Structure 1
């Protein structure tokens, strides 16, 4: 009798353990979908590390989302404070703001739904749902998915690993991988709060351009740079072209250099440095393209051009021959080469 009683206890214990055991892939996906549907929004802080080129870049990030279509992503560039940026989406459109330089772009864009965004909760969940071949595993503290990515103009980052906290099912870490499964982008979340209360002006452009937020300076806090000369950079990736002509222009408040490349793929690269930043908020520049990440900054890209600011220099790359992906290749290679 004692023997059968003991066996019964073991079976009962196994049943209880099975009922309280690990969630399946389907269980976790169902819970993620439910959270996404029921939440009013979220706010998170994270660090994004970028291992592209010769230098590693890092950003501190503050990410806010209010249903259904309000977003604010503060990116504090630890190597270029004046180049820190804000990606903003509200009823008026999609904006990329650089408050310290008093610069802003306005896009007619489907961002952020048009490509993967490793720092946005709904983008991560969407990538999991859209990949029927996504793999799933558990660790002591995390549920881990490996999925395909959706970067429209970049095929060099085909997959990502997404780590969720087991208790809260909130994102903890995202690793974006290259074709060799090496980590190129790593997002580490330090906080993630569901259903926060936001100030009424949190997603307004003027508020974000004129208020120092998350350590991001605004124009009135940045000193003028009258004595610094433009240090011209040259791209490593030329796609079969060579430098054919260089022309320099002295501006009233700065310098401009135009580099013309000719060959298999013709393109022009303009670099301009201003010595004084405007002190009043100007209207955003309209762009018929999308905000894209160059790794070290967010750029504005159209079908035939891409422009961005970095370390006090404005860059403009234009070409009728380069594809969007090729423009990104040339643009990202510019920061990895020293001046000639």
Structure 2
């Protein structure tokens, strides 16, 4: 009996070891599983961390294999929806008639679905480096843990994958070892039947906000010609940053000057003659000090993009990019009239 028991234990040990996934097989398994994935539905709880404090989001996601997806983001009393039918992306906020419409091919580069779980799997497959940290127990279940480089310099992803589905169930994103956000999957359905109406949107044409405009690249000298007032240029730039492109455009009968900078952080500075119009403030908008002036700062839901609004006596300004708020404030405070 003892020999039979011992033999049985040895066989069980061999069986379990043969079922264990090795680090070099993880990506292969993920590719196989995602190739078979036709659709999914997930509910997430997301915590975003910033110097201003914690922000909590409840997120619902639907995705079909033919590049159709829908993401609903709820924070406090606000809700924002992102819908893609495979050709167009619509973005709108509940309670506000205005919406944005973006070509899906262009949007795939500029507007990633917030916290999309399959997006993290794609990042993992494209990562420059990753570490398979073995099996770790989380919420009473054993999961595979993987640590990989992210899309940005200094970014690290920690993913806990379901051992059968190889799907993220818990994700943490770090930037220079500082925790940016934490995702907990509360509900996950793989290959459910999804109704076509989930990926449809109907809005009146007059409510569409221009999301793209015709721009002509200029030199600063050309941009200055006919500009109503002074053009303001940053005298401070983050290390490695430089002016990449200059353009002017007209939206709603107003001139806009657009300065695009590239470097360690990419950012865009837009200025227009002062209008005295107020900026829409959400619960995540905070007031910041820019020298003797005040501005409004807001980050997007996944903490990857920030926007700063402020004005001086002549112009309204919008600065948006991947750089930290502290760097944005330095740039804003350094603006001087061009040529002065």
Shift of 1:240: 4.6
**Higher percent of residues as strand:** 2
Matched, 1:318 2:318: yes
2:325 and 2:37 map into 1 onto residues whose CA distance is 38
Matched, 1:93 2:93: no
**Cross-structure match for 1:161:** 158
1:30 and 1:201 map into 2 onto residues whose CA distance is 34
After superposition, the CA RMSD in angstroms is: 4.2
Shift of 1:58: 1.2
* Contact residue 40 and residue 192 of structure 2 kept, 8 A: yes
Matched, 1:146 2:147: yes
**Cross-structure match for 1:259:** none
* Contact residue 42 and residue 193 of structure 1 kept, 8 A: yes
**Cross-structure match for 1:194:** 190
* CA-to-aligned-CA distance 1:85-116 (integer Å, 9 cap, x gap): 11121244122111311121122354446687
Matched, 1:130 2:126: yes
* Contact residue 95 and residue 106 of structure 1 kept, 8 A: yes
1:297 and 1:24 map into 2 onto residues whose CA distance is 31
**Cross-structure match for 2:217:** none
**Structure-2 change in CA distance of 1:171 and 1:5 (3 Å):** closer
Aligned residues: 241
TM-score, scaled relative to structure 2:
0.58
Out of 90, 100, 108, the residue aligned to residue 105 of structure 1 is: 100
1:330 and 1:6 map into 2 onto residues whose CA distance is 65
* Contact residue 143 and residue 163 of structure 2 kept, 8 A: yes
2:235 and 2:49 map into 1 onto residues whose CA distance is 22
Shift of 1:121: 2.9
Q: Unaligned regions of 5+ residues in structure 2, if any?
A: 204-233, 238-267, 281-297, 310-315, 330-340
Out of 60, 63, 66, the residue aligned to residue 61 of structure 2 is: 63
**SS of the residue aligned with 2:21?**
coil
**Structure-2 change in CA distance of 1:332 and 1:205 (3 Å):** farther
1:102 and 1:91 map into 2 onto residues whose CA distance is 23
**SS of the residue aligned with 2:202?**
helix
**Structure-2 change in CA distance of 1:5 and 1:95 (3 Å):** closer
Question: After TM superposition, which residue ranges in structure 1, 4 or more long, deviate above 3 angstroms?
Answer: 2-14, 108-118, 238-241, 265-275, 295-301, 316-319, 323-326, 328-333
**Structure-2 change in CA distance of 1:4 and 1:148 (3 Å):** same
Matched, 1:294 2:299: yes
**Structure-2 change in CA distance of 1:268 and 1:203 (3 Å):** same
**SS of the residue aligned with 2:322?**
helix
* Contact residue 115 and residue 302 of structure 2 kept, 8 A: no
Greater relative contact order: 1 or 2 (C-alpha under 8 angstroms, separation 6 or more)? Answer: 1
**Cross-structure match for 1:27:** 25
Q: Unaligned regions of 5+ residues in structure 1, if any?
A: 208-237, 242-264, 276-292, 309-315, 334-340
* Contact residue 95 and residue 104 of structure 1 kept, 8 A: yes
**Structure-2 change in CA distance of 1:266 and 1:135 (3 Å):** closer
**Structure-2 change in CA distance of 1:325 and 1:12 (3 Å):** closer
TM-score, scaled relative to structure 1:
0.58
* Superposition pairs of residues 113-124 of structure 1, within 5 angstroms: 119-124=115-120
* CA-to-aligned-CA distance 1:179-226 (integer Å, 9 cap, x gap): 0x221111111011111112221111128xxxxxxxxxxxxxxxxxxx
* CA-to-aligned-CA distance 1:12-37 (integer Å, 9 cap, x gap): 554334224x2112333222211211
1:29 and 1:332 map into 2 onto residues whose CA distance is 38
2:175 and 2:149 map into 1 onto residues whose CA distance is 11
